[in-house]
Amino acid sequence: MTFEEIGLHELVLEGLSCMGFEKATPIQEQAIPEVLKGRDIIGCAQTGTGKTAAFVLPILNKILEKDYKNTSTLIIVPTRELALQIDQQIQGLAYFTGATSICLYGGGKAGDWKEQKKAMDQGVDIIIATPGKLISHLIMKSINVSTIENLIFDEADRMLDMGFYEDICRIISFLPEKRQNLMFSATMPPKIRDLAKRFLTNPFEVSIEISKPSEGVLQAAYLTFDNQKTPLISSLIKGKDEYKSILIFTSTKRKVNDIVRSLRGNNFEVKGISSDLEQQEREDVLMAFTTKKVRVLVATDVISRGIDIKDINLVINYDVPGNPADYVHRIGRTARADTTGVAITLINPDDMYKFRNIETLIENEVPKVKLPEVLGDGPEWRKTSSKGKNNNGGRKKFQGKKKFYGKKKH
Ligand code: AMP
């Protein structure tokens, strides 16, 4: 379906044509007409499906038609990276509409607030905010949300995982009751349904398949011991010019630094990104990677969701993510929008049970590739848990402790 057929405003169509969007993606096709009718939406879609434009486009349409005089739209997101990315898409799509937007997140530059306050006093149309920052402004009464008519939650599941439930309820208590609510989440666990029940009115449900990686991703896995991982990565990427942009995911900040150090030792151009970096440093690293000044980026899951870096040719999972949906998010960084890409996962004996859970979720067995001979033998693949152990490979006692309920620094 084309955007003309959906019936968007001419000035919105102009923005779309400049961005080169010709056809609506499935989530856009389903959600936009309902948002235009004024309905609340609950959308289950992962990043890469075009979900940002699915809410930005009809909201821009509404802003043009209603000609609001004050801030009308609040977008709440889990991380500042996602806030900035949404803001960028708004700037492109809204170019001809005159609609304005600002981002509010923790850890910005000194002096940002002055500019943001000025924008709000002038009636900026759209505020994109992380919950923590927004709540502190609301408490200090330094922001007025009494004119908000459109509320959007993006990556709602991640916000709840990060412990933002109370903050979200509190933020909503400051908003006018009469408003349109759009909630997007990559997964739809019961806690998201509960949140939707609490704050959405008779929502229209849109669900885009989330458990399967995009078909353009070629997936493979290596069974390795930890000391074989870095030499394996080096052999996978050395002299392979077709891998121009490589993203390596790992689960901890400490490992990011270790991997960066060892790859640099092997003369690769590599940078790391995690929540340890200041906001400006994170932006600089992302910029160096997106502009291809740096070939390899090592990251924690902070950037696996929501962040849109084009043309990544190879994603390497240095370790297996504990949450199977994170696997889909991580490898979704490659093969975006009809391109192809490769996703390689390194599995040590402790991670085999996690990888089996992933294969169950994606309903597919990922081929296990033999290690290059020089690296010696890797561990044997265990299709099921070893006898006498529980299903988590004997790690049951750690289960409760591993779960994180507090707020993370993002
Ligand atoms: P998202 O799922 O919102 O993170 O979007 C993923 C990528 O798809 C972004 O780079 C968007 O610019 C792009 N995109 C969104 N909608 C379309 C469309 N209708 N046609 C082409 N690209 C799109």
- List where CATH 3.40.50.300 sits in the chain: 3-207, 217-375
Which two tokens mark 82? 């996602």
Q: What is the pLDDT of residues 251-288, one digit of tens each?
A: 888 999 999 999 999 889 999 988 788 878 888 998 89
pTM for the predicted model, two decimal places: 0.64
- For residue 111, the 8-state DSSP code is T
Ligand 1 contacts CB of residue 55 (under 6 A): no
- For residue 398, the model assigns a pLDDT of 28
In CATH, the number for domain 217-375 is 3.40.50.300
Within 10 angstroms of residue 267's Cβ, the number of other Cβ atoms is 9
Cα-to-centroid distance, 302 and ligand 1 (Å) = 20
Cα-to-centroid distance, 324 and ligand 1 (Å) = 24
Q: What architecture is domain 3-207?
A: 3-Layer(aba) Sandwich (3.40)
- For residue 65, the model assigns a pLDDT of 96
Which two tokens mark 139? 């408490």
Does the structure show a pLDDT above 80 at 299? yes
- For residue 11, the 8-state DSSP code is H
Atom of ligand 1 nearest to the CA of 52: 3
391 band by pLDDT with thresholds 50, 70 and 90: very low
Which two tokens mark 324? 């199977």
Q: What is the pLDDT of residues 326-367, one digit of tens each?
A: 788 788 777 655 567 899 999 999 999 899 988 887 878 999
110 band by pLDDT with thresholds 50, 70 and 90: low
Residue 327: left if φ>0, alpha if ψ -120 to 50, beta else—which one? Answer: alpha
Cα-to-centroid distance, 25 and ligand 1 (Å) = 8
